[in-house]
Amino acid sequence: MNELTPAEERVIVHKGTEPPYSGEYDDFFKDGTYVCRRCNAPLYVSTAKFHSGCGWPSFTKPIEPAHVNELQDVTHGMVRTEVRSKYGDSHLGHVFPDGPRDRGGLRYCINGASLRFVPRDKMQAEGYGDYLDQVEDVR
List the catalytic residues.
109
Ramachandran region, residue 48 (left: φ > 0; alpha: ψ -120 to 50; beta: rest): alpha
Task: Judge whether 108 and 58 are in contact, CB under 8 Å.
Answer: yes
Query: Which segments within the chain are labelled E, that is strand?
Result: 32-36, 42-45, 49-50, 58-59, 68-73, 80-85, 91-96, 107-110, 115-119
- Asked whether the beta carbons of 44 and 110 are under 8 A apart, the reply is yes
